[in-house]
Structure 1
Amino acid sequence: MELTLEVNDHILEIEDIFGLAGNESFVPHLPVISVTIEGFEAIRPGALPDTLKMLCFSHHYSEPLQVGCLPSSLTVLDLGKIILKIPITPGVLPHSVQRLRFPTWYNIELEPGTLPRSLIQLKLGYNFNQRLGIGLLPSSLTKLKLGYEFNIPIEWGVLPTTLLSLKFGKCFNQSVSWPQSLETLCINRDYDPKSKDTPPSSLRYINILSFVNHSNFLNRCQSIKGLKIRVIDDISEVLIPDGIHSIKLKFKTNAIQLKQYLKSLLEVNQQVTSISMRLGVYRFEVLILDSQKGWFAAWVSYIYGMSDTSKLMFLNLVDFLSASDTGLNELYPPYDKKHHQNDDVSSDNESSVSGSYDLSEWIE
């Protein structure tokens, strides 16, 4: 069994996990902070050090998790890659865990008391499609991301009153009883909001797709202060609430369609003066300087590059958007391949699982 241990910011390679706990040669005043388990053998209770804060399992691990095998010091637990064929029972997950990712392929109903009492962030697995009972989610929870296949109605009392952020998976299209604490909401492709699903007055930020039904739902979200629109293949215009002047756009389309969408969007939402956009490997920060004369400033940067590839331009919005037969080449900063040969251009594939300990990307 192979592990990666981080000891006071130093990385050590240790081959035998079970020799660690009783190894007198291991310096006791250097606490083990994080471990990545790459092996097949089951973890015995007491094998992992009681200083452990972060634990990540690789896809090789498929043994049952027993009560007592995970130390009570854990605050971050990533089970995303393991394959479990038996339930995770109450008592297995330490109550100290604050951020938790469930196994990607786990689709077994969770018993009351299974989730840690101190849990703050939770990502359910890709395959998880089981009823969430009242009281299952702890009252400490503030961020929840449902799995790709989750598609079960969420009854009143299921979502705790502490919940601040909620993200639906692609398949979700059911009624929801919202907690009045909710501030951030991300809805996905299949969600067709029903008229009775009135969003809570606490909602401040919403992340939607450029679909007509999502736009209709947005019009019922009069309390929001921030908006992100993902444009994939449906470029229906979105009517933005009057109080929103700054928006974010993420495009999975070509540059010509981007310009067509922008033209349509700005024609019906003239109050928008600031746009943060992403297309492929480029990020655009657009500021409307003079709405009457149509002048705008665009700051364009290469997202993954380590070198300075930014570019600032001042253009006429009407002229720029009218040239719908051209792309955005005139905006792109110089691209030097040798500066970007190690760039990591990752996808947004829901089924992919990162081994990172940073759980922020699981929720946002």
Structure 2
Amino acid sequence: MLVYNRLPELELIFKSNIPGLDIDQVETTSRQIVYRYNRQLLRNTLPPKITELTFCHQYSRPIPTSDLLPASLTSITFGKCFDSSLNGVLPPSLVTLVFTPASIFNKEFNVGSLPNTLTTLKFGYLYNQPFKSNVLPDSLLYLIFGEDSLFNKPIFPDILPQSLVTLSLGSGYLHEINARKLPRSLRSLSLGGGQIQ
């Protein structure tokens, strides 16, 4: 068994790149993993105690079941090519979910698919799906669409959680927003092309 105790971040690479090394035989106290290849996740591919996971830009494989992601994860970042549904697969301890600015992710979230622990949700420029009532969890503090985001779906009063502190809408957002119907907790509002009523 190989033990790595002092690595702040561990990069998972093709097993074949290091002769004789099987990731199942690597024990690590590292809490951050960078998954640098486009291969399907399998059960126990990722160490069970990691807290932060970053997928490379090339990763485009679906995550079909919740048991592929460790329950300990508090932060997940997806790169450019990921565009598969995340409904029913995110760990219950997740605090931060980020899609990089170049992300092509554009899948709708169902009610209950975003964990009640989520505080930060950042989307890439292509995200343009509507939000239904109760999709965004009450724990959410930061909802951010990139500056050049194409997001342009109306945001109705019952969509935004009352805990929200920051709402940032990109240049593609062209709808009016009624300021009186925004959460009282809101401290920062950034609009692209929209208007405040």
> TM-score normalized by structure 2?
0.82
Partner of 1:122: 97
1:57 equivalent to 2:35? Answer: yes
156, 159, 164: which one aligns with 1:182: 164
Please give the per-residue CA displacement for 1:144-199, whole angstroms capped at 9, x wherever unaligned: 00221111111110000000001124110002311111001111011013356832
Contact 1:71 1:94 in 2 (8 A): yes
Unmatched 5+ residue regions in structure 1? 1-21, 221-364
Counterpart pick for 2:183 among 200, 206, 226: 200
| Cα gap change, 1:152 to 1:71, in 2 (>3 Å) | same
Shift in alpha-carbon separation, 1:195–1:203, aligned structure 2, 3 A: closer
Which whole-Å CA distance do the structure 2 matches of 1:44 and 1:175 have between them? 49
Separation (CA, whole Å) in 2 of partners of 1:111 and 1:180: 23
* Partners of 1:45 and 1:67 within 8 A in 2: no
SS of 1:91's equivalent? helix
2:148 is the counterpart of 1:135 = no
Asked if 1:144 is matched to 2:144, the reply is no
- The Cα shift of 1:32 comes to 4.0
Contact 1:45 1:66 in 2 (8 A): no
Paired residue secondary structure (1:100): strand
Query: Over aligned residues, Cα RMSD in angstroms?
Result: 2.5
Letter in 2 for 1:183: V
Supply the AA of the counterpart residue of 1:90.
S
Is 2:77 the counterpart of 1:101?
yes
Moved over 4 A (4+): 40-45
In our comparison, the structure showing a higher alpha carbon Rg is: 1
**Does the 8 A contact of 1:57 with 1:82 survive in 2?**
no
Letter in 1 for 2:186: L
C-alpha distance in 1, partners of 2:161/2:81?
Answer: 28
Over 3 Å counting, the alpha-carbon distance change for 1:166 and 1:44 in structure 2 is: farther
The 3 A distance-change label for structure 1 pair 79 and 47 is farther
Name the CA distance, whole Å, in 2 between partners of 1:185 and 1:48.
41
Match of 2:53 in 1: 77
Structure-1 separation of matches of 2:90 and 2:152: 25
For residues 44 and 118 of structure 1, do their structure 2 counterparts lie closer, same or farther at Cα, with a shift above 3 Å needed? farther
Which residue identity lines up with residue 57 of structure 2 in the other structure? K
Between Structure 1 and Structure 2, the one with more helix by share is 1
Cα distance, 1:85 vs structure 2: 3.3
- Residues 50 and 188 (structure 1 numbering): CA distance in 2 closer, same or farther, change over 3 Å? same
Secondary structure, aligned partner of 1:140:
coil
Are the aligned partners of 1:48 and 1:70 in contact in 2 as well (CA < 8 Å)? Answer: no
Q: 2 CA distance for matches of 1:195 and 1:178?
A: 12
% identical equivalent positions: 28
Q: SS of the residue aligned with 2:176?
A: coil
Aligned-partner Cα distance in 1 for 2:31–2:110: 29
**Deviation at 1:41?**
4.8
Higher RCO structure (Cα 8 Å, ≥6 apart): 2
Contact 1:65 1:88 in 2 (8 A): no
CA contact (8 A) 1:57 1:81 kept: no
Q: Is the 8 A contact 1:50 1:72 kept in 2?
A: no
Report the more deviating stretch, 98-107 or 194-203.
Answer: 194-203
What is the SS of the residue equivalent to 1:49? strand
Q: String of CA shifts for 1:94-119, please: whole Å, max 9, x gaps.
A: 1111111023211111231x111111
